Amino acid sequence: MRGKSGYKRKTIEPDKRFVSSALAKFINYVMERGKKSVAEKIVYSSLDEASAKLKKEPLDIFNQVIIAVAPSVEVRSRRIGGANYQIPMEVKEPRRTALAMRWIIEGAKSKKGLPMAKKLAEEYCEILSGASYSLKKRADTHKMAEANRAFAHFARLR
């Protein structure tokens, strides 16, 4: 990695309903074309629908889903001696939650024929039941890291 590392941007204000900064970040990920109120309606209604199905608190559902999907290892490409190696590395916290949120939204968008709020609620339920797009994505990432474990010693070279 060349140059200076980026600076930390300002922290995100927590959302209005649950006072959770993680949920506010998720709302920002769902948001398209700057329409935050629409994104809030989508996320809140999806959480309400999922909590009605699962009979749990909405914020608990959200936190469980993020923890279930967040990857612990991933592969990073590194050039060593003229060859590129896929090196398994631990995923640090901000990236871990960002990947989880991105994969959940991708999984919801891949479903067809329903409003986004219903698709998100379905994705939450599928994640907690153990069969969803985002869990498959996490498993694939972990499998790739496991397959390239032989190159883990390159991670310590700097």
- Predicted pLDDT of residue 40: 96
Closest of 131, 124, 130, 133 to residue 58, by C-alpha: 124
pLDDT in tens, 108-154: 999 999 999 999 999 999 999 988 999 999 999 999 888 887 777 77
**What CATH number is attached to the domain comprising 130?**
1.10.455.10
pLDDT in tens, 74-89: 988 888 888 888 888 8
**Is the distance from CB of 111 to CB of 35 less than 8 angstroms?**
no
Q: Which domain holds residue 140?
A: 21-156
Residue 4 lies in a domain: no
Q: What is the mean pLDDT of residues 23-52?
A: 96
Number of domains in the chain: 1
**Is the distance from CB of 85 to CB of 154 less than 8 angstroms?**
yes
